Amino acid sequence: MRHKRTPGIETTEVAVTLTIGELAARTGVTPETIRYYEREGVIPPASRTGAGSYRQYASADAERLRFVRRARDLGFSLDEVRELLDLAASDPGRPCGGVNQIAHAHLAQVDAKLVQLRALRRELNRLIEACDRDAALADCSLLSALSAAD
């Protein structure tokens, strides 16, 4: 078993550094994905103050990582996540139009995908409903729809 590392000079009892596994547990992002994000430049390279060259994280890293995870959950690409992080880290006095723009563009893409998927579903359903499951393969309307010349 492993314990909390760096117990400190026992002042306030909280561990200030996290291993990648602890960070993973806190954020719901696996260690392998965290390392992947680092390679991709979505999160900055972790410090390695441990002699054994383990990655070390602080609570702020957990917040940044949660930001990434939530943005990914909303379907933003890693490129978009990088842009959002850059904006979040830039002059807080600037207007948030850039954020809005990224979000709107993404929403438009989601809508486009929805339109596509709904059309696909309609067509698929049409073919399935026409298909009598007890018919012979030779008469299967689904197969013949797939075989049919346009």
Partner DNA sequence: CTTAAAGGTTGTAGCCGCTACAAGGTCAAG
Partner DNA sequence: CTTGACCTTGTAGCGGCTACAACCTTTAAG
Q: Provide the 3-class DSSP secondary structure of residue 22.
A: helix
Q: Which of residues 120-149 bind a copy of itself (CB under 8 A)?
A: 120-121, 123-125, 127-128, 131-140, 142-143, 145-147, 149
Query: How far is it, in rounded angstroms, from Cα 56 to Cα 38?
Result: 13
Amino acid identity, position 56: Q
CB of 92 to DNA, least distance (A): 26
The DSSP letter of residue 51 is T
Residue showing tokens 């117990």: 7
Q: Does 25 bind a copy of itself (CB under 8 A)?
A: no
Cα separations in angstroms, 136 against 9, 31, 123, 126, 146: 79, 52, 22, 19, 16
Residue from the set 15, 54, 74, 131 that interacts with DNA by CB under 7 A:
54
Closest CA to 57 of 41, 45, 69: 45
- CA-based end-to-end distance of the chain: 65
Q: Which of residues 80-109 bind DNA (CB under 7 A)?
A: none
Query: How far is it, in rounded angstroms, from Cα 106 to Cα 75?
Result: 8
Q: Does 50 bind DNA (CB under 7 A)?
A: yes
CB of 118 to a copy of itself, least distance (A): 7
For 56, the token pair is 């070390």
The option from a copy of itself, DNA, none interacting with 112 (CB < 5 to 8 A, set by class) reads none
49 versus 100: smaller Cβ distance to DNA? 49
CB of 58 to a copy of itself, least distance (A): 15
| Maximum alpha-carbon separation in the chain | 80
Residues at the site binding a copy of itself, with contacts judged by CB under 8 A: 63, 66-67, 70-71, 73-75, 84, 87-88, 90-97, 99-100, 103-104, 106-107, 110-111, 113-114, 117-118, 120-121, 123-125, 127-128, 131-140, 142-143, 145-147, 149-150
